[in-house]
Amino acid sequence: MENKNKKSFLERMGESQVWKSIIRSGVPRSRRQRMQAILGSVFLHLHPARIPKHAVKIGYTWCMGGLSFFLFIVLTITGLLLMFYYRPTVEYAYTDIIDMAEQVPLGIMRELHRWGAHAMVLTVWLHMLRVFMTGSYKPPREFNWGVGVLLMTLTMFLSFTGYLLPWDQLAIWAITVGTNMARAHPFIGHEGPGASLLAIGDINLVHAGSDVRFALLGGRFVGEASLLRFYVLHCIGVPFITMILMAVHFWRIRKDGGISGPL
Amino acid sequence: MLQTIKDIIDILSAPTVSFTFLTVAFPFVFPPTDWFEKIHRKFGIWRLWTKPGFYGGMFAITFFFVVGYFDPNFHVTLTKADNFPIILMIYSMFITIWWSMYQAYLNDERLENGLKPNEYNDPDDKVLVWPDLVYIEFIALILFMVFLIVWSILVAAPLEEPANPAATPNPSKAPWYFLGLQEMLVYFDPWIAGIVFPMFIIIGMMAIPYMDINKKGDGYYSFKERRIGMFIFMYGWLVLWLFLIVIGTFFRGPNWNFFGPFEYWDAHKVVPLNNVNLSEYIWVKTLGTGLPANILIREGIGFLVLVAYMGILPILLAKSWLKNYFQEIGPVRYTFIMLFGLSMLALPIKMYMRWLFNLKYIIAIPEWFFNI
Ligand code: HEM
């Protein structure tokens, strides 16, 4: 009882100049301070300060959108660490991967990155399923559903481009199977319908050395240039677009009136 | 005893059997009309979406995997590190779909009794994000990270032999999330299975909110109010996407031949391939005249079939069976729904034409890489 008036360490910290300069509201205790804690933080204010009860339930959102985002961050960080060790050339790629497992202390970065990537495909699918199941794509959220579909596509493409990088049998053949499709792209793949129509006289514009598959692989086969292209797409190109779309996605959740719910 | 069960499962998992079973059973599990609903109730299929249904489903899946784990053949595919996500996928999809349907049925009942859905709260009675949401997010994030770390410690990321462009593995498989597309390659040429269908899937999915103009069931679980939309989406998602992934992963071996889960992947298994094009059926087998030299005449019937299916059928439907529906949604929406819907339906149709008549292509113009 005698401690009643004595301030706890946390309380004193919450009143210190340092803390208050960072978190203006002090230690979030009162209702006002708690709302301030959300509104005053760049990161937390992605959320509104108050939300309807059903929206915080795991049973409603399954946390899957949030976990997808979390996985994206985990993948960014682990991916960055992998980039320290990995060189995207036919000569080094495979051995760098082996080195990573054998030489790097506590080396589970590659595992975290790979399994995290698989998990992200799954969480994104589950998120999509829950949005469908709760009918949350209906107006006014049509546009955000569309952004979501693009995010899902990009997530799978990210995973796909990463698949090549270990440069083992699994990698090049999975990518060979995948990119063989591009060969059959109507008009712009050299074995696609309509490709032969794009010709000037006898000269075919679309052939194995100029079609969309060639553009993707940087060659006629999965080789050195493909590795570099996939590396650049995987580490910079696709994440960059994904990040922009995520920003749009989150912004729109708020603008569309927050998490959906019955009226 | 166990061997018999395995043999039965092997036979049942052949795409011809399992796909047919799923397709026929589907409308009774997700009933789109009153008639299906009646049978759904009468035979107790609705119990799948109750707690006993949940335990039953979980037991069946687990039984399948446990038996598989101790089977020398299934063990090989099942324990591939890269296949673990599919096991996760099967469990998580079952759990989440069960949960959604369970909640939906509770809500359907409430709505029928004039109550608001379970999710409903007084709009003035909100909770604070700090601490109520932030903490949940924090805990979810920690638990998930623990899960991921344990997974990463237990299962090493696979690394096979160094890349060798000269040695094609058999089978060569795409990453698991694309195996549905690779499975479609059995029935369609790459330009359709690999390009047109994926584009239609992406654009069609983006178009869902614009095609489904049913305003009900927004923001809570429900089934009855939107049963047709649910039925179509779930068929596409569960059968045409997820199930094809399962087939592609577990049931496709060397040369992309079918193998039951408990069957040995024999690279020398010979499957007779005597697929015939529609034009050959007509000109060679029926008329006995041999294929005409003119490509367009040769494939004329195929083009007619295509135009009838994609062009005339929707018009006929709009004038008869779907008349009211057409009037309700208007021509633009109707056109897109038909475009995406009929394309989606084309997959099972083509599968059955292959299985029943060995039909290879409806239109076969290899000269232009134009095979359908
Ligand atoms: C990288 C992928 C994605 C991320 C990080 C992401 C993130 C999120 C988050 C954090 C939410 C808040 C609610 C929740 O967690 O459920 C949300 C809501 C939403 N997401 Fe996503 N999402 C992704 C992909 C998708 C996909 C694939 C779709 C649909 C095809 C989608 C459609 C939506 C819609 C419509 C909402 C609003 C739901 C509501 O109001 O109930 N998102 N997203």
Record the tokens describing residue B199, joined without a space. Answer: 């584009």
Which residues in B lie closer than 8 A to residue A48 (C-beta atoms)?
Answer: 129
Interface contact A115-B157, CB threshold 8 A: yes
Residue B318 pLDDT > 80: yes
Tens-place pLDDT, residues B65-118: 999 999 988 998 898 888 999 999 999 999 999 999 999 999 999 999 999 999
Interface contact A262-B212, CB threshold 8 A: no
> Best mutation site among A24, A110, A138 for testing chain B: the one with the most B CBs within 10 Å?
A138
Reported confidence tier of residue B369, pLDDT bands at 50, 70, 90 = confident
Record the tokens describing residue A168, joined without a space. Answer: 């083992």
Instruction: Specify the pLDDT at position A76.
Output: 97
For residue B112, is it within any domain?
A: yes
- Average pLDDT value for residue range A86-104: 91
For residue B196, is it within any domain?
A: no
Based on the number of CB atoms within 10 Å of its own CB, is B150 exposed (0-12), middle (13-18) or buried (19 or more)? Answer: exposed
CA atoms of B329 and A84, how far apart (whole Å): 56
Q: What is the pTM of this model?
A: 0.94
CA atoms of A135 and A260, how far apart (whole Å): 9
Q: What are B365's strand-pairing partners?
A: B370
Which residues in A lie closer than 8 A to residue B215 (C-beta atoms)?
Answer: 138-139
pLDDT more than 90, % of chain A: 56
Tens-place pLDDT, residues A164-188: 999 999 999 999 988 888 888 998 8
Same domain? B71 vs B33: yes
Same domain? B246 vs B139: yes
Domain of residue B86: give its range.
2-119+131-157+219-256
For residue B162, is it within any domain?
A: no
Instruction: Specify the pLDDT at position B115.
Output: 93
Residue B248 pLDDT > 60: yes
Degrees to nearest 5, angle at CA B205 with B199 and B210: 125
Interface contact B128-A260, CB threshold 8 A: no
Instruction: Specify the pLDDT at position B212.
Output: 93
> Best mutation site among A170, A179, A212, A220 for testing chain B: the one with the most B CBs within 10 Å?
A170
Reported confidence tier of residue B225, pLDDT bands at 50, 70, 90 = very high
More confident residue, B108 or A21: B108
For residue B192, is it within any domain?
A: no
Interface contact B209-A114, CB threshold 8 A: no
Residue B174 pLDDT > 90: no
For residue B189, is it within any domain?
A: no
The protein residue whose alpha carbon is closest to atom 14 in ligand 1 is A65
A39-48, B194-203, B221-230: lowest mean pLDDT where? Answer: A39-48
Interface contact A168-B209, CB threshold 8 A: no
CA atoms of B70 and B68, how far apart (whole Å): 5
Same domain? B50 vs B146: yes
Residue A2 pLDDT > 70: no
| Cβ count within 10 A of residue A106 | 6
Residues within 8 A of B (CB atoms), A 202-241 only = 221-223
- Average pLDDT value for residue range A100-118: 88
Same domain? B361 vs B238: no
Q: Quick check: A69 contacting B, CB < 8 Å?
A: no
- Average pLDDT value for residue range A12-23: 84
Record the tokens describing residue B244, joined without a space. Answer: 């094809």
Q: How far apart are the first and last CA of chain A?
A: 49
Contact partners, residue B42, CB within 8 Å, separation at least 6: none
Please report, as a single letter, which amino acid is at residue B178: F
Reported confidence tier of residue B289, pLDDT bands at 50, 70, 90 = confident
Instruction: Specify the pLDDT at position B187.
Output: 93
CA atoms of A131 and B222, how far apart (whole Å): 12
pLDDT more than 90, % of chain B: 66
Min Cα separation B344/chain A (Å): 17
Give CA B102 to chain center in angstroms. Answer: 21
Q: Quick check: A77 contacting B, CB < 8 Å?
A: no
- Average pLDDT value for residue range B211-236: 94
Based on the number of CB atoms within 10 Å of its own CB, is A246 exposed (0-12), middle (13-18) or buried (19 or more)? Answer: middle
Interhelix angle A64-85/A109-133, rounded to 10 degrees, is 160
Same domain? B356 vs B225: no
Q: State how many domains chain B has.
A: 2
Q: Quick check: A173 contacting B, CB < 8 Å?
A: yes
Q: Quick check: A39 contacting B, CB < 8 Å?
A: no
Most confident region among A129-138, A198-207, B112-121, B151-160 by mean pLDDT: A129-138
For residue B75, is it within any domain?
A: yes
CA atoms of A202 and A253, how far apart (whole Å): 54
Say what the alpha-carbon torsion angle A235, A238, A244, A245 is, to the nearest 10 degrees: -140
Same domain? B240 vs B283: no
Reported confidence tier of residue A3, pLDDT bands at 50, 70, 90 = low
Interface contact A94-B89, CB threshold 8 A: no
Q: Quick check: A263 contacting B, CB < 8 Å?
A: yes
Which residues in A lie closer than 8 A to residue B217 (C-beta atoms)?
Answer: 135, 138
Q: Does the Cβ of A73 fall within 6 Å of ligand 1?
A: no
Interface contact A163-B156, CB threshold 8 A: no
A51: helix, coil or strand?
Answer: strand
- Average pLDDT value for residue range B246-267: 90
Residue A83 pLDDT > 80: yes
Instruction: Specify the pLDDT at position A19.
Output: 84
For residue B88, is it within any domain?
A: yes
Which residues in A lie closer than 8 A to residue B151 (C-beta atoms)?
Answer: 111, 115
Please report, as a single letter, which amino acid is at residue B331: P
- Average pLDDT value for residue range B340-364: 93
Instruction: Specify the pLDDT at position B139.
Output: 94
Residue A93 pLDDT > 90: yes
Same domain? B28 vs B112: yes
For A184, the closest of B103, B123, B369 (CB atoms) is: B369
Contact partners, residue B174, CB within 8 Å, separation at least 6: A174, A177, A178, B181, B182
Same domain? B152 vs B25: yes
CA of B320 to the centre of ligand 1 (A): 39
CA of A148 to the centre of ligand 1 (A): 6
Instruction: Specify the pLDDT at position A8.
Output: 82
Same domain? B224 vs B95: yes
CA of A126 to the centre of ligand 1 (A): 10
Half-sphere exposure of B176 (CA within 13 A, CB side): 26
For residue B267, is it within any domain?
A: no
Tens-place pLDDT, residues A132-158: 999 999 999 999 999 999 999 999 999
A259: helix, coil or strand?
Answer: coil
CA atoms of B267 and A196, how far apart (whole Å): 37
Record the tokens describing residue B216, joined without a space. Answer: 């009900």
For B177, the closest of A48, A121, A194 (CB atoms) is: A121
pLDDT more than 70, % of chain B: 100
Q: Does the Cβ of A131 fall within 6 Å of ligand 1?
A: yes
Instruction: Specify the pLDDT at position A4.
Output: 60
Q: Does the Cβ of A124 fall within 6 Å of ligand 1?
A: yes
Size of the A and B interface in Cβ pairs below 8 Å: 271
Same domain? B70 vs B142: yes
CA of B342 to the centre of ligand 1 (A): 28
For B133, the closest of A56, A125, A160 (CB atoms) is: A56
Note the ipTM here: 0.95
Instruction: Specify the pLDDT at position A105.
Output: 74
Give the mean pLDDT of chain B.
Answer: 92
Largest CA distance in chain A: 98
Same domain? B225 vs B336: no
Same domain? B114 vs B48: yes
Best of A120, A138, A253 for a ligand 1 pocket test (most atoms within 8 Å of beta carbon): A253
CA of A35 to the centre of ligand 1 (A): 24
Domains of chain A: 13-50 (no CATH), 51-255 (1.20.810.10)
The residue in chain A having the minimum alpha-carbon distance to the alpha carbon of residue B131 is A34
Interface contact A169-B167, CB threshold 8 A: yes
